Structure 1
Amino acid sequence: MFTYELQSVTTQKPDIEVVTVESHEMSLYILRLTIASRKGVVFDKQTKRPAVFRSTEHIREVLSECNVAYAELIHLSPYDEMIGNGKSERAMVLPLFI
Structure 2
Amino acid sequence: MEFHRLEHINRQDVHIDELVVHSYEMGLYMAEVDFDSRKGFIIDDSTGRPKRFQSIEQVKDALSEATIRKAYLSHQSAYDEMVGTADKVDNTLKVALFGSSEP
- TM-score norm. by structure 2 comes to 0.81
1:83 CA displacement: 4.5
Between 64-73 and 1-10, report the one with greater CA deviation: 1-10
Residue equivalent to 1:96: 97
What percent identity do the matched residue pairs reach?
Answer: 36
Structure 2 residues not aligned, in runs of 5+:
none
Find out whether 1:61 has 2:57 as its counterpart: no
Written as runs of structure 1 = structure 2, the 5 A alignment for 1:63-82 is 63-81=63-81
1:82 CA displacement: 5.4
Greater fraction of residues in strand = 1
1:45 CA displacement: 1.4
Name the amino acid aligned to 1:2: E
**RMSD after superposition:** 2.2
Between 43-52 and 81-90, report the one with greater CA deviation: 81-90
Partners of 1:2 and 1:66 in 2: how far apart?
Answer: 19
Written as runs of structure 1 = structure 2, the 5 A alignment for 1:1-98 is 1-10=1-10, 12-13=11-12, 14-81=14-81, 83=83, 89-98=90-99
Name the amino acid aligned to 1:22: H
- TM-score norm. by structure 1 comes to 0.85
Q: Report the count of equivalent residues.
A: 97
1:96 CA displacement: 0.7
Structure 1 residues not aligned, in runs of 5+:
none
1:8 CA displacement: 2.5
1:97 CA displacement: 0.9
Name the amino acid aligned to 1:43: I
1:54 CA displacement: 0.2
